[in-house]
Amino acid sequence: MKRKLLTLSVASVISAGTLIAPLSSNYAFAQSIKEKQKSVQSDIQKKKAEISTLSAQAKEMESEMNEITAKVNDTNAKIKDTTQKVNDTKQEINELQAKIKETKQRIAERNKVLQDRARSIQQSDGSDSYLDVLLNSQSFGDFIDRAVAVTTFVSADHKILKEQEADKKALEQSEADLNNKLQEVQQELSKLEDLKSQLKYQINDKNSILAKIKEEQESAKGELGDLQDKAASLAEQEKAAEAEQEKERQAFRTTSSNSSSHSSGNSSGSHSSGSAYSAPSDGPVYHGSGAIEAAISAGSSIVGRSPYNWGGGRSSADIQNRSFDCSSFVRWAYAMAGVNLGSITGTSTNTLVYQGRAVSASEMKRGDLLFFDTYKTNGHVGIYLGNGQFLDDNSSHGVSIDSLNNPYWKATFKGVVRRVVE
């Protein structure tokens, strides 16, 4: 009898253990799903924060674009006004030139009158001068008549001379006015050209950055959608696992209630996993003879053949296709010369501005890094070539050689220079 009871007890324990084993397995599976859900939800929150940041950046960039558009509209109005000034000035020039021609004609005619009058008096009675005319009078009455005539002639000549002098001064003043007018128009046109040049660079920069931000927004939204789909799938898996657990618990309760003996047991398990990622450290910066010329040679080899790509140059595909932005281009050019200015993915103007050592603008030499305040402080970088020229990758022309005398670059260069190779 005791052997029979023992057999039944053992059977109950085995039966219960058989049910508990899959129950524990499903519990672990459910816990695994929950951990995955936590991870996915964390990724979703991060992705939403990323999208929010990108949206704020896009909004800020659009605000800046609106400001530039307002400047463009203002500039267009100035262009219209200046064009009108140019036309008005040309009209005034034509009128002044006509007046100058007319004045010269009057002076020539008056000179001829004086010459004819003097010739006429000299030919009268063979006289050679006004004095001879008076001395050759036949009588006192004739003397008086001649004196009156001479006085009239002299007065008329004096008047003509005064008029000539006045016309001459008017002509000189007209010439001065004309020169001043031309100078004002030239200055106005020069300012207008500088303004147009600066706005062109600004608009290209902002459009390029805004397009890249929107591209990243769309990519982030797509990734968020994938994460949300994954979260929904995990929720379905969790629901199914819980249903399976409930079925097994119910089966266990039924079996236990029918058993002649009851035993209980529990199992516990733990699962932990972890991983850590450590970014590889950058190699040491190489300072070698000829590194500057090697870097410039590498960069110059793609002038006019590498379009600007904001955020580009940070993958092997981009580097193979020579698709860079300003900072990745500079990093690549020096990397080709064996000089390490930072990691492929982590290099930006913010990191390059701390490479090497600072030198003053008056001491900059070939190979130094020049920084420009474009869309932000030190927002653009290039390699100095000497003679006021530098090699860079910009949103207007891609990889190109630009001049510090260009109004836009001249206005944005604040003297920040770093020497990375001695």
* Whether pLDDT at 285 is above 90: no
Complete edge-to-edge strand list for the sheet that includes strand 357-359: 357-359, 413-419, 369-372, 380-386, 389-394, 398-403
pLDDT band, very low/low/confident/very high, at 168 (cuts 50, 70, 90): confident
Q: What is the pTM of this model?
A: 0.43
Structure tokens at 280: 């590889």
Between CA 38 and CA 43 the distance in angstroms is: 9
| Top-confidence residue, 155 or 7 | 155
Average pLDDT over residues 255-263: 49
pLDDT band, very low/low/confident/very high, at 113 (cuts 50, 70, 90): confident
pLDDT band, very low/low/confident/very high, at 277 (cuts 50, 70, 90): very low
Average pLDDT, the chain: 80
Please state the φ and ψ torsions of residue 392, each to the nearest 5 degrees. -155, 170
Between CA 250 and CA 26 the distance in angstroms is: 14
* Whether pLDDT at 286 is above 60: no
Q: What pLDDT was estimated at residue 179?
A: 84
* Whether pLDDT at 260 is above 90: no
Q: What pLDDT was estimated at residue 132?
A: 67
pLDDT in tens, 236-253: 888 877 776 676 667 656
DSSP symbol at 303 = T
Between CA 137 and CA 148 the distance in angstroms is: 12
Least confident of 36-45, 135-144, 350-359: 135-144
Cβ proximity of 383 and 296 under 8 Å:
yes
Average pLDDT over residues 52-81: 88
Options 3.40.50.720, 2.70.98.10, 2.60.410.10, 3.90.1720.10; CATH for 291-419 is 3.90.1720.10
Nearest-CA neighbor of 269 among 19, 12, 32, 68?
Answer: 32
pLDDT band, very low/low/confident/very high, at 378 (cuts 50, 70, 90): very high
Nearest-CA neighbor of 385 among 307, 300, 306?
Answer: 300
Average pLDDT over residues 356-373: 97
**Domain 291-419 in the same topology as domain 1-265:** no
| Top-confidence residue, 190 or 25 | 190
Average pLDDT over residues 282-289: 48
| Domain residue ranges in the chain | 1-265, 291-419
Class at the top of the CATH hierarchy for domain 1-265: mainly alpha
pLDDT in tens, 308-327: 999 999 999 999 999 999 99
Average pLDDT over residues 255-271: 45
pLDDT band, very low/low/confident/very high, at 391 (cuts 50, 70, 90): very high
Neighbour count for residue 80 (Cβ, 10 Å): 10
Q: Which residue has the tokens 């036309």?
A: 87
* Whether pLDDT at 169 is above 90: no
Q: What pLDDT was estimated at residue 308?
A: 96
Average pLDDT over residues 266-290: 41
Residues 6+ apart with CB under 8 A from 198: 407, 408, 411
Q: What pLDDT was estimated at residue 270?
A: 37
Please give the full DSSP string across 60-119, using - where no structure is assigned.
HHHHHHHHHHHHHHHHHHHHHHHHHHHHHHHHHHHHHHHHHHHHHHHHHHHHHHHHHHHH
pLDDT band, very low/low/confident/very high, at 26 (cuts 50, 70, 90): low
pLDDT in tens, 291-300: 999 999 999 9
Average pLDDT over residues 80-105: 84
Q: What pLDDT was estimated at residue 280?
A: 30
